[in-house]
């Protein structure tokens, strides 16, 4: 009986987008700590917020491309759209300086992003 060697599968655009989103949210947590302890933390956190929001939009684009032309499931599109909504709320709460909701939502977003990454 011969065994068939299979090449390792590369990561998809959707997996890359989720990984990027997860990384940017983690870096936002790091910059939030710097926000409290250094003079440049606020600038870093502000730039990171824009990058994280862009990563969330990239995740939605990747989910749509995996679904429509790729013939995949539409479920990741719903997840990505929901995540973009959470990111929008997070940005509004950050601008409004509401840390009592902003911080727990950030933790929840990180957990959800890790979950989405593991499930892909």
Structure confidence at residue 20 (pLDDT): 97
The pTM for the full model equals 0.85
Quick count: other Cβ atoms within 10 Å of Cβ 89? Answer: 14
Structure confidence at residue 9 (pLDDT): 67
The whole-angstrom separation of Cα 42 and Cα 69 is 40
Structure confidence at residue 36 (pLDDT): 86
| pLDDT per residue as tens digits for the range 3-60 | 444 445 678 999 999 999 999 999 999 999 998 899 899 999 999 999 999 999 999 9
The DSSP output letter for 40 is S
Which residue range is the domain that position 77 belongs to? 13-119
Report how many domains make up the chain: 1
Residue 79 lies in a domain: yes
Residue 51 lies in a domain: yes
Structure confidence at residue 6 (pLDDT): 45
Structure confidence at residue 78 (pLDDT): 95
Angle between helices 75-95 and 41-67 (to 10 degrees): 160
């Amino acid at each position: 009986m011969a065994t068939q060697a299979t090449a390792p599968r590369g990561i998809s655009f959707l997996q890359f987008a989720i990984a990027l989103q997860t990384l940017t949210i983690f870096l936002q947590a790091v910059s939030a700590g710097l926000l409290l302890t250094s003079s440049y933390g606020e600038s870093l956190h502000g730039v990171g917020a824009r990058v994280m929001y862009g990563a969330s939009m990239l995740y939605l684009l990747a989910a749509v491309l995996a679904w429509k032309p790729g013939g995949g499931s539409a479920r990741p599109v719903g997840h990505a759209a929901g995540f973009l909504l959470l990111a929008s709320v997070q940005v509004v709460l950050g601008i409004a300086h509401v840390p009592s909701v902003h911080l727990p939502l950030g933790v929840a977003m990180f957990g959800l992003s890790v979950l989405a990454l593991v499930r892909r």
